[in-house]
A and B are shown apart, each in its own frame.
Chain A
Amino acid sequence: MSKGIFSLKSFGPIAALLIALVILPSIIPRFYIYILAVIFVTALLAMSLNMVVGHGGLFQFHHGAFYGVGAYTVALMLTKTSLPVWVGFVAAPFVAAFVGLLIGLFCVRLTRLYFGMLQISLGSLIWAIAFRWYSFTGGDDGIHGIPLPSLISSTTGAYYFGLILLIISLIVMFLIFKSPFGATLQAIRDNPERCEAIGINVRRHQLIAIVIATFFAGIAGVLFVVVEGSVFPDLLFWVFSLEIFVMCLLGGWFTFAGPILGAAIMISLRTFAGIYTEYWTMILGIMLILLIFFLPEGVWGYLVEKFGFQRKKSLEKERQ
């Protein structure tokens, strides 16, 4: 199933984009480097959510909780223990995945909106802990001035660290997406009942998908700490989770790369429209309404449909 993933046709544009991203920090101002680094973090987070929402059809309404758990894990380990930095970086995704497993164990027993509602409730418990436990998590002040290695503490260092982790994560996610497991997940999204009828343990697959997605959310949490140098409970608040959800819708939740585009649009809008008006969410709202009417598959989904990348590819294969 994973044959022909990196076709020569797509290699050119991807290589050009990568070279541009590597060169950019030496030619653009620091502010834009920072914005790009934030986009990398958010794109990874949105991509991780899309694994379960877009490809798995699960109503993962509180994905931010796992992002926050990842960020808090690394922040607490770096500020409260004397363990090496890399231990915190490695532990964060695993802790996020473990919390994902615990919450997932309860949630996969339910479907659709009930799944989402239970997840918001359980995720909000984590938020409440982070928000209230002043002595440990810093409460609503969060944790600031997290000591980071000098190599990645600068904006440019954080940018390159984020870029490398994003690329590695995207490759792994793509391999998962194209693997039999990824195909099974999409089949479950299409029709869980039929999947059961062909011998697929739907709940177990959904749980594994949640664990994988929360693992990547944990990596995004690590990146957030590297870029911002601080954590605060807003990361775990359910409203932020809905923002990530909107990013997936905006980019195209049935496509692989859509959420990256969604995250880029959202961050750019917040940053640049936010300069002129504090009501930038109104622009986002209008965009979403137009999107639902004219581009229901999202921006990337529209591009795929318009230029028929996938269809052409499959027809070419048939001809061979």
Chain B
Amino acid sequence: MLEVEGIHTYYGLSHILFGVSLNVPKGKIVCLLGRNGAAKSTPMRSIMGLPPPKQGTIRFKGKTIKGKKPYQLARQGMGYVPDNRRVFADLTVGDNLEISERKVGAAQTWTKESVYDFFPALGHIDSRKAGFLSGGEQQMLTIARALMTNPEFLLLDEPTEGLAPLIVEVLEKQISKFRDKGLTVLLAEQNQKVALGLSDEGYVIDNGVIRYHGTIEDLRENEEVRKKYLLV
């Protein structure tokens, strides 16, 4: 579904990603693990073109996406859930979802109703302004907003960051359902427990370089890698 080959990304003059390569097969949940500040978010942003890489190639559904604008990628079926839960604070929950609604191809898997079925907590607060929501509700809304674009592939950037354990459990349960719905997911996480529990494959990133790649079972057993790159 997504192949990233040797991308180099810069923020201004700062070189952030050094030849990062990733492969996310269709229907799988792949996680990108790393410490705080290891540059987990940058590959996600770079895939989405915010900012695009200066070198390297990214292929989505077999086609190179170089030069494509973020909105064009979203319309091709790439959903993006940014970190920090940036909802549109002045709009209501319902409006946040309605402006995101897209039909990719002829199929429309997600509607406002089906999203509310998926996250019932949002259905009760349809007319509340997003700026008044709790952290967990905002995170649900950010994911729901991405679902409304009817993606085939979802970039989830630290969905559990700063949330209470109970909310993390709810989100974990819902994210695991994505696989059954045919969604492919690239999940950037700092929370090892969540990432190792959800994913099929894992990458470990540190200082903008991929240090490890393997199945989730290998990663679970590889104490050395986890100690070296993931423990604080």
Interface residues of A (CB under 8 A from B): 1, 180, 183-184, 186-187, 189-191, 193-202, 254, 310-311, 314-315, 317-318
Contacts and interface: CB of A to CB of B under 8 A. Distances in A.
Nearest to A313: B127
B94 A191 contact: no
B10 interface: no
A194 B88 contact: yes
Contacts of A190: 88-91
B49 to A, nearest CB: 8
Contact of B127 (A187, A191, A318): A318
B38 interface: no
A254 B149 CA distance: 27
B50 interface: yes
Contacts of A315: 128
Given A196-B70, A199-B102, A318-B126, 5 more contacts: A197-B70, A198-B80, A198-B145, A198-B148, A314-B92
Interface residues of B, number: 34
9 contacts: A180-B99, A184-B99, A186-B91, A190-B88, A193-B50, A196-B49, A197-B71, A199-B75, A199-B149
Given A180-B98, A197-B50, A199-B75, A191 B92 contact: no
Given A193-B50, A198-B100, A199-B149, A183 B91 contact: yes
Nearest to B76: A199
A110 B74 CA distance: 22
A196 B91 contact: no
A183 B98 contact: yes
B98 A197 contact: no
Contacts of A311: 129, 132
Given A190-B89, A199-B102, A1 B50 contact: no
B82 interface: yes
Contacts of A180: 95, 98-99
B7 interface: no
Given A180-B99, A190-B90, A196 B74 contact: yes
A314 B127 contact: yes
A25 B58 CA distance: 68
Contact of B99 (A187, A189, A254, A317): A187
B125 interface: yes
A318 B129 CA distance: 11
A198 B149 contact: yes
A187 B50 contact: no
A197 B94 contact: no
A198 B146 contact: yes
Interface in B11-58: 48-50
B100 to A, nearest CB: 4
B86 interface: yes
Contact of A196 (B69, B88, B96, B148): B69
B124 interface: yes
Given A187-B99, A196-B50, A254 B71 contact: no
A197 B91 contact: no
Contacts of A191: 86, 88
Contacts of B126: 317-318
**Residue of A194, A311, A315 with highest tally of chain B CB at under 10 A:** A194
Given A1-B94, A187-B88, A190-B88, A200 B99 contact: yes
A62 B132 CA distance: 35
Contact of B125 (A189, A193, A197, A318): A318
Contacts of B100: 198-199
A70 B187 CA distance: 53
A200 B98 CA distance: 12
A195 B82 CA distance: 11
A314 B146 CA distance: 24
B98 A196 contact: no
A314 B48 CA distance: 34
The 10 closest A-B pairs by CB, nearest first: A199-B74, A196-B70, A317-B127, A187-B88, A197-B80, A198-B100, A183-B95, A184-B99, A196-B71, A199-B75
A195 B48 CA distance: 12
Contacts of B48: 197
A191 B91 CA distance: 12
Contacts of B146: 197-198
Given A183-B99, A186-B90, A193-B50, A198 B125 contact: no
A180 B94 CA distance: 11
Contacts of B91: 183, 186-187, 190
Interface string B159-170: 000000000000
